[in-house]
Amino acid sequence: MSQNQNQHSKQVVASFKSKLSADVVAQIGEENFGALELIVESAMSTAVLEELEKAADKVEVLAHDIRSFAEHYDR
């Protein structure tokens, strides 16, 4: 996980906590907020990796198209 994702997940949970009353925050507890941070960070990582896979697939198709064009150029 990148440091940015870790920091962002902390900010997301802090923002969520700020919308709750002090009683609700106390009932949920820091351990559960820590678990929520991990869940948020994991979700961000999954989304990033899925987008990277899509980009890699596009690059692969483009490389194939370029190779095909080069092989048939000037024939």
Q: What is the tens place of the pLDDT at every residue in 28-58?
A: 999 999 999 999 999 999 999 999 999 999 9
Stated pTM of the model:
0.74
pLDDT surpasses 70 at 11: yes
Question: How many Å apart are CA 59 and CA 61, to the nearest integer?
Answer: 5
Separation in Å, CA 47 to CA 6, 34, 55: 14, 20, 12
Question: How many Å apart are CA 37 and CA 44, to the nearest integer?
Answer: 11
